[in-house]
Amino acid sequence: SSSVRMGVIQLPNLSRILCFSFHIILILLQQTTAARELKFVVVLFRHGDRTPIVNFPTDPHKESEWPQGFGQLTKTGMQQLFELGQYMRKRYSSFLNSTYNRQEFYIQSTDYDRTIMSAQSYLSGLFPPTSSQIWNPELLWQPIPVHIFQKTTEQRLNFPLPNCPRFDELQQETQTSKEFQNRIQPYMDFLQTMAINTGLELNHLKILDNFQLWNTYDTLHCEVIIN
């Protein structure tokens, strides 16, 4: 099989919240005399397009209008990750084994439906079954295990930061600082208008650790994309 060298790539942001899937490709390559040789690849990416996480009080579109509910991967999101897998297959065609091998490839996901499904969609594009791996001639897909970070025990890739007193302390200092108050002042008219139109509390929109401001943008963004 092969020899190993380190390679890291950064991929474009595929969605809006910090819930992540990532995989590690480990491949043993034959020793070569090349000055630079790819040995190891780590890829970190986010989930594809999803439905809103929450809605705001005056939003006419309720969760029941989304077929799978809030926070779920859409068909567009599935296609995005499938195409990413195809891209990576082409990009590393001389590095990846032509067929899936569990001793050379490992993938992990955070414990959210949308990230797990994103990982699965990605794998469909990265490792379509060939030859002996085709188990159903009418379905060019093969199951590949996705290993899950448990929310309760694994803090990697979790955000907001849970159980971090120092983070909370620094955030509170920033929230009450004169500099922060001066910076937010020019936006008070906008926040007031937003509070009136969304039904959200103005005081809540001004709080750093409150995601209502971001959630409102995110919800509207998702609704525009899906029409």
* pLDDT over 60 (residue 4): no
Compute the distance between CA of residue 110 and CA of residue 9 in angstroms, rounded to an integer.
20
C-alpha of 50 from chain center: 10
How many beta carbons lie within 10 A of that of residue 116, not counting itself?
Answer: 17
Mean pLDDT, the chain, whole residue set:
83
Q: For residue 101, name the pLDDT band (cuts at 50, 70, 90).
A: very high
Q: For residue 16, name the pLDDT band (cuts at 50, 70, 90).
A: very low
C-alpha of 70 from chain center: 15
Compute the distance between CA of residue 217 and CA of residue 192 in angstroms, rounded to an integer.
15
Write the pLDDT tens digit of every residue in 113-150: 999 999 999 999 999 998 889 999 999 899 999 999 88
Q: Name the residue among 36, 11, 33 with its Cα closest to residue 22.
A: 11
**What's the sign of the alpha-carbon dihedral 227, 210, 18, 118?**
negative
Q: What percentage of the chain reaches a pLDDT higher than 90?
A: 58
So what's the pLDDT on residue 203?
86
- 174-199 mean pLDDT: 93
H-only helix segments in the chain: 75-91, 113-126, 165-176, 178-184, 188-198, 202-205, 212-226
Q: What percentage of the chain reaches a pLDDT higher than 70?
A: 82
- 62-73 mean pLDDT: 94
Q: Residue 222 in contact with residue 53, Cβ under 8 Å?
A: no
Q: Residue 87 in contact with residue 104, Cβ under 8 Å?
A: no
So what's the pLDDT on residue 160?
64
Which residue do the tokens 């969304």 mark?
A: 198
Instruction: Compare 94 and 26 and report the one with higher pLDDT.
Output: 94
Compute the distance between CA of residue 98 and CA of residue 3 in angstroms, rounded to an integer.
16
**What's the sign of the alpha-carbon dihedral 197, 198, 199, 201?**
negative
Q: For residue 70, name the pLDDT band (cuts at 50, 70, 90).
A: very high
* pLDDT over 80 (residue 77): yes
So what's the pLDDT on residue 46?
93
Q: Name the residue among 180, 190, 185 with its Cα closest to residue 216.
A: 190
So what's the pLDDT on residue 192?
94
Domains, the chain, ordered by start: 6-157 (3.40.50.1240), 161-210 (no CATH)
Write the pLDDT tens digit of every residue in 31-45: 444 568 899 999 999
So what's the pLDDT on residue 208?
74
- Joined tokens for residue 94: 């001389």
Q: For residue 12, name the pLDDT band (cuts at 50, 70, 90).
A: very low
Instruction: Report CA dihedral (93, 98, 99, 103) to the nearest 10 degrees.
Output: -70
